[in-house]
Amino acid sequence: MEESDFLDIAIKAKEASKKIAVLSTELKNEALVDIAKAIEENKNVILEANQKDLELARILVENHELTQSVYNRLKLDENKMRDMIQGIIDISKLNDPIGKVLLKRQLDEGLILTKISCPIGVLGIIFEARPDVISQISALAIKSANAVILKGGKEALNTNKVIFSIINGTLEKISGFPKHVISQVFSREDVNYMLKMDKYINLIIPRGGNNLVQFIKENTKIPVLGHADGICHIFVDKTADFEKAEKIIIDAKTQYPSACNSVETLLIHKDFELAEELLKALEKAGITLNPEPDSWHKEYSDKILAYKFVNTLEEAIEHINEYSSGHTDAIITEDKSNAAIFLDCVDSAGVYHNASTRFADGFRYGFGAEVGISTNKTHARGPVGLDGLTIYKYTLQGNGDIVKDYVDGIKHFKHKDL
Amino acid sequence: MEESDFLDIAIKAKEASKKIAVLSTELKNEALVDIAKAIEENKNVILEANQKDLELARILVENHELTQSVYNRLKLDENKMRDMIQGIIDISKLNDPIGKVLLKRQLDEGLILTKISCPIGVLGIIFEARPDVISQISALAIKSANAVILKGGKEALNTNKVIFSIINGTLEKISGFPKHVISQVFSREDVNYMLKMDKYINLIIPRGGNNLVQFIKENTKIPVLGHADGICHIFVDKTADFEKAEKIIIDAKTQYPSACNSVETLLIHKDFELAEELLKALEKAGITLNPEPDSWHKEYSDKILAYKFVNTLEEAIEHINEYSSGHTDAIITEDKSNAAIFLDCVDSAGVYHNASTRFADGFRYGFGAEVGISTNKTHARGPVGLDGLTIYKYTLQGNGDIVKDYVDGIKHFKHKDL
């Protein structure tokens, strides 16, 4: 694709974003229900396309050019298809995040300020192998009234193309639904074009490793909702309950080791008396303990757990604020005051007391779905659902009101919330 | 200053940000009241320093190296000093934006998710000649529990240094108030250092022209809260009330022509019958009408108003969405349905009906103060007060809870808002 072709896609997406911004909740939900139905009806076509991708991927895995974990994420099955379909239906049932009145204030008699939620505009989403992401992101974009340009992983090319054409084929049949709300691009070059289109694209969400996120941040003026590494910590305090510690650490490390909310580093208070027993229990659960990591910044994505002893709660907090990726960090303690200090002082998107870091997830938080997990300190943080895809505008309803009257002291602001 | 000196400032600001993040509301407000007092007591010292800056600036104005309007913004007087002091007191009286519970949800029995507002961390603020900005930004930073690195205009060097030392001298005397919350840098080189410090600085707010904002966006990975040009529009609809139109346009163009919320472009419906009379009235009010602008993107910052006739409301909306800087745009109409369409379809931070664009301002909106006006589509939009300087974290309080129980279907999420 030439840059001018991408520009054409971006311009059409911008136009589409203006039209979907004012679409009724009913029409958006109708579109979602229809997409879910169409995916259900075309399940076999999707699985066949996925089979093609899997055959190519299998060769890459055999040649060590692709990891088994990417292969697993690429593979669709009946369960994943059911989740995909249910996910879209779930999003159709969520409240419309657009048009919510966030503030209504009488500035003065007959002068009413309203802060109202609205879509961001055009989203650029860059994601890796998982083809089930397309339907989820498309559904979130439709519900939040944003247009979206999707760039999927090349491994999932056949699957992505089929899902994309099912979605757009469905949307075309819905009377009044704007064209070009969902676009798809395929090549690595397209990512470079995307980064330049700050006139048309309002937010880029890279769903991938830290390197991808850093590359994108360095090469665009467009705001980036970062979904970077997950270097999550668990601190076992002096008064930790042994059973809770054992259960939580095993869950956080072994339940899904390649997830970004898995724990990578264990900090143990030097006065926690059952430390030896705890470490043995973790090894028994199949965890490889690493007391001398090359770096405390490492994400293992495997059943490997770095650990060290600390002298105080403060030392644990300092270590975490230095090495955590700001994703999710937990304390295990029976001391409520220490828990409160930890929750206050650890500067991460999720800070937990006596719970597994694996809870950091849009579905588990009850957001219905997530576009990713943000470790940003602006706009949206933690699991990002529909609300993170909105912004707001201020409307002001007057009756010939001018500022001079207030500057001259003829009139005075009331600032009364309604 | 060497880059290593700036790094030292950035590291200290980051440390300070962790300490101020957990400071009590009382201590923050005490600091604000004390700063207001200290500025009051040192009014003459400040005015003397300002006099020095003004003398240098006067020469630059005479040599046409500085505009009169920059000179005016640089100049402090009794009125501006009173506003500065009152502004700090006002901020001390606002509700604390930190520690607000934004969501409290029972995920399951004994597993409580809380979304709680918290500071962003370290702000980098780059501003131009106005020295009264220092105290305002410092007060907003303290109240919102952020550390801040300020880079002021070189024209205000003497004034800025004095105000800065009064603020930090006051903070040093307050027991328990962390050091290095407010830092100041001076040179253009410091801006370049600032842009590189994404490890320590979380948000950059350039208060200046579009060129400055664009330069910064192009040269940093740090999120930028853009305060770009103000290309504001007023559309006079077919059914506009003549008197309201006249009053509002004159206010929006002449009350303070160099403000970013002043109107630059007038669009008139071709069937508005009193168009000729309106244009005459505007000229009589000292406005130079420009029917053939070189560009519809121009910000005049003067009593010059570009205008054109449009055939329909839709054409007006299209023109605005193409050429507006997304700041503030207004419709003047007696047709409620047209007003509603305009408010829905114009994609700007402020969209007004029968009111002057000059109302776009944090004080007038009742925010107490503003750090600037954002034309971004993420994080914060429109006048940005304390809320725009906050983000949130999620805390999760459990009792040994693990994800495996939910994946295995032993437990089920309740997702009950509390």
User: How do residues A256-300 score in pLDDT, each as one tens digit?
Assistant: 998 899 999 999 999 999 999 999 999 999 999 999 999 999 988
Q: Per-residue pLDDT tens for B20-66?
A: 999 999 999 999 999 999 999 999 999 999 999 999 999 999 999 99
Q: In chain A, which residue's Cα lies nearest the Cα of B330?
A: A396
Whole-number pLDDT of residue B212: 85
Whole-number pLDDT of residue B228: 67
Q: Collect all residues of chain B within an 8 Å Cβ-Cβ radius of residue A397.
A: 339, 352-355
Q: Collect all residues of chain B within an 8 Å Cβ-Cβ radius of residue A347.
A: 18, 21, 118, 121, 393
Q: Read off the pLDDT of each residue in A160-189 and give the average, rounded to a whole number.
A: 96
What one-letter code names the amino acid at B347?
A: D
A399 and B203 within 8 Å at the Cβ level: the answer is: no
Nearest Cα of chain B lies from the Cα of A172 at a distance, in angstroms, of 23
Q: What percent of chain A has pLDDT over 70?
A: 100
Beta-strand pair A111-119/A390-401: antiparallel
Q: Which of B221, B351, B397 lies at the smallest CB-CB distance from A217?
A: B221
Three-state DSSP state, B225: coil
Nearest Cα to A299, choosing from A331, A328, A278, A269?
A: A328
A351 and B218 within 8 Å at the Cβ level: the answer is: no
- Residue A255 · residue B403 · CB < 8 Å: yes
Integer CA distances (angstroms), B46 to A54, A169, B34, B286, B416, in order: 72, 68, 16, 36, 56
Q: Which of A344, A354, A381 lies at the smallest CB-CB distance from B392?
A: A381
- Best mutation site among A218, A313, A318, A395 for testing chain B: the one with the most B CBs within 10 Å? A395
Nearest Cα of chain A lies from the Cα of B196 at a distance, in angstroms, of 11
Q: Residue A102: phi, psi to the nearest 5?
A: -95, -20
B400 and A223 within 8 Å at the Cβ level: the answer is: no
Q: In chain A, which residue's Cα lies nearest the Cα of B242?
A: A400
Q: In chain B, which residue's Cα lies nearest the Cα of A244?
A: B400
Nearest Cα of chain A lies from the Cα of B153 at a distance, in angstroms, of 24
Nearest Cα of chain A lies from the Cα of B19 at a distance, in angstroms, of 9
What one-letter code names the amino acid at A407?
A: V
* Longest pairwise C-alpha distance within chain A: 80
- Residue A388 · residue A396 · CB < 8 Å: no
Of the candidate ranges A48-52, A167-171, A226-230, B347-351, the one whose mean pLDDT is the lowest: A226-230
Q: Collect all residues of chain A within an 8 Å Cβ-Cβ radius of residue B402.
A: 247-248, 250-252, 255, 355-356, 358
Q: Which of B248, B382, B413 lies at the smallest CB-CB distance from A364?
A: B413
- Residue A372 · residue A205 · CB < 8 Å: yes
- Average pLDDT over chain A, rounded to an integer: 95
- Residue B140 · residue B413 · CB < 8 Å: no
- Best mutation site among B215, B328, B401 for testing chain A: the one with the most A CBs within 10 Å? B401
Q: DSSP letters of A344-358? A: HH--SSEEEEEE-GG
Identify the segments of chain B with pLDDT beneath 50.
Answer: none
The C-alpha angle with vertex B91 and arms to B85 and B92, in degrees rounded to 5, equals: 95
Nearest Cα to A407, choosing from B228, B375, B356?
A: B356
Whole-number pLDDT of residue B229: 78
The strand ranges marked E within A228-343 are: 232-236, 263-269, 288-290, 304-310, 328-332
Nearest Cα of chain A lies from the Cα of B336 at a distance, in angstroms, of 11
Nearest Cα to A398, choosing from B316, B273, B247?
A: B247
Q: Collect all residues of chain B within an 8 Å Cβ-Cβ radius of residue A399.
A: 244, 354-355
Q: Which of B365, B400, B403 lies at the smallest CB-CB distance from A354?
A: B400
Q: Which residues, at least 6 apart from A65, have a Cβ–Cβ distance to it below 8 Å? A: none
The C-alpha angle with vertex B155 and arms to B149 and B159, in degrees rounded to 5, equals: 65
User: Which residue reads 């301002």 in tokens?
Assistant: B361
Q: Read off the pLDDT of each residue in A91-104 and give the average, rounded to a whole number.
A: 96
Q: In chain A, which residue's Cα lies nearest the Cα of B11?
A: A322
Q: In chain A, which residue's Cα lies nearest the Cα of B356?
A: A402
Q: In chain A, which residue's Cα lies nearest the Cα of B395?
A: A351
The strand ranges marked E within A220-297 are: 232-236, 263-269, 288-290
Whole-number pLDDT of residue A128: 82
Q: Collect all residues of chain A within an 8 Å Cβ-Cβ radius of residue B377.
A: 120-121, 202-203, 223, 391
A107 and B221 within 8 Å at the Cβ level: the answer is: no
- Best mutation site among B222, B395, B410 for testing chain A: the one with the most A CBs within 10 Å? B395
Q: Residue B146: phi, psi to the nearest 5?
A: -105, 150
A244 and B394 within 8 Å at the Cβ level: the answer is: no
User: Cβ of A211: how many Cβ atoms within 10 Å?
Assistant: 11
Q: How confident is the model at residue A227 (pLDDT cuts 50, 70, 90)?
A: low
CA separation for the pair A295, A366 (Å, rounded): 35
Whole-number pLDDT of residue A229: 77
Nearest Cα of chain A lies from the Cα of B63 at a distance, in angstroms, of 33
- Best mutation site among B199, B359, B376 for testing chain A: the one with the most A CBs within 10 Å? B359
Q: Collect all residues of chain B within an 8 Å Cβ-Cβ radius of residue A325.
A: none
Instruction: Report the residue count for chain A.
Output: 418
Nearest Cα of chain A lies from the Cα of B56 at a distance, in angstroms, of 31
A21 and B347 within 8 Å at the Cβ level: the answer is: yes
Nearest Cα of chain B lies from the Cα of A244 at a distance, in angstroms, of 5
pLDDT at residue A350 above 90? yes
Q: Residue A252: phi, psi to the nearest 5?
A: -70, -25
CA separation for the pair B300, B265 (Å, rounded): 10
pLDDT at residue A204 above 80? yes
Q: Which residues, at least 6 apart from A215, have a Cβ–Cβ distance to it below 8 Å? A: none
A396 and B18 within 8 Å at the Cβ level: the answer is: no
B395 and A364 within 8 Å at the Cβ level: the answer is: no
- Best mutation site among B103, B327, B333, B394 for testing chain A: the one with the most A CBs within 10 Å? B394
Q: Collect all residues of chain A within an 8 Å Cβ-Cβ radius of residue B384.
A: none
Q: Which domains does chain A have, with CATH numbers?
A: 3-225+371-393 (3.40.605.10), 232-359 (3.40.309.10)
Query: Looking at beta carbons, which pairs linking A208-216 to residues 24 or more positions away fall under 8 Å?
Result: A208/A126, A208/A127, A208/A128, A210/A299, A210/A325, A212/A126, A214/B221, A216/A126, A216/A191
Q: How confident is the model at residue A58 (pLDDT cuts 50, 70, 90)?
A: very high
Nearest Cα to A8, choosing from A123, A180, A186, A206?
A: A180
Q: Collect all residues of chain A within an 8 Å Cβ-Cβ radius of residue B364.
A: 107, 403, 406, 413
Q: Which of B343, B376, B401 lies at the smallest CB-CB distance from A356?
A: B401
B377 and A350 within 8 Å at the Cβ level: the answer is: no
B255 and A403 within 8 Å at the Cβ level: the answer is: yes
Nearest Cα of chain A lies from the Cα of B48 at a distance, in angstroms, of 28
CA separation for the pair A326, B391 (Å, rounded): 13
> Which two three-digit tokens encode residue A191?
């990512």
Does the predicted TM-score (pTM) go above 0.90? yes
Whole-number pLDDT of residue A294: 92
Q: Collect all residues of chain A within an 8 Å Cβ-Cβ radius of residue B379.
A: 223, 378-379, 391
Q: In chain B, which residue's Cα lies nearest the Cα of A349?
A: B393
B343 and A223 within 8 Å at the Cβ level: the answer is: no
- Best mutation site among B107, B378, B416, B418 for testing chain A: the one with the most A CBs within 10 Å? B378
Q: DSSP letters of B359-408? A: G-STTTTT-S--SEEE--SSS--EEE-GGGGEEEEEEEEEEEE-SHHHHT
Q: In chain A, which residue's Cα lies nearest the Cα of B98?
A: A344
CA separation for the pair A262, A34 (Å, rounded): 36
Report, in this order, helix, strand and coil percent for chain B, each rounded to 5: 45, 20, 35
Q: Collect all residues of chain A within an 8 Å Cβ-Cβ radius of residue B353.
A: 395-398
Between A and B, how many CB-CB pairs are < 8 A? 237
